[in-house]
């Protein structure tokens, strides 16, 4: 007969550390999901980039975009109030990076 291997139970501090790690991971995932849902609710993520009057990229087209003017198939933001883009600065920067906007342009945001 084969001898079976007897595994010792993990120490209590190890299981507590695993639980704390899982809770931290769960909280981080919930925060990311909350920020992503807020960004998607505020913007049309599958639309072209909106540019400022100085042709700096701002981000995707906002859903409540009353200040957008189409100039030769380019969306231009005409209002001075850019709070919608500033509120979601991280999401806009990630979206611009995924859209292929160069990193030098992103530093201006």
Q: Containing H/E element for 13?
A: helix 12-42
- pLDDT of the residue at 105: 61
- pLDDT of the residue at 73: 83
- What are the residue ranges spanned by the domains of the chain? 12-106
pTM value is 0.71
Q: What is the DSSP letter of 80?
A: S
- How far CA 25 is from CA of 2, 31, 35, 71, 81, in Å, comes to 41, 10, 16, 45, 36
**pLDDT in single tens digits along all 109 residues of the chain:** 566 777 777 677 777 888 899 999 999 999 999 999 999 999 998 888 888 888 888 889 998 878 888 888 888 988 888 888 888 988 998 999 998 887 556 555 5
- pLDDT of the residue at 107: 54
User: Treating both helix axes as pointing N-terminal to C-terminal, what angle do 12-42 and 89-99 enclose, rounded to 10 degrees?
Assistant: 80
């Amino acid at each position: 007969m084969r001898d079976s291997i007897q595994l010792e139970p993990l120490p209590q501090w190890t299981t507590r550390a695993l639980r704390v790690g899982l809770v931290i991971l769960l909280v981080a995932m919930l925060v990311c999901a909350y920020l992503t849902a807020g960004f998607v609710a505020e913007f049309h993520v599958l639309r072209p980039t909106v540019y400022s009057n100085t042709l700096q990229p701002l981000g995707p087209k906002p859903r409540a975009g009353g200040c957008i003017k189409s100039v030769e198939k380019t969306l231009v933001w005409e209002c001075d109030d850019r709070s919608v883009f500033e509120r979601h600065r991280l999401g806009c920067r990630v979206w611009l990076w995924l859209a292929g906007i160069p990193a030098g342009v992103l530093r201006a945001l």
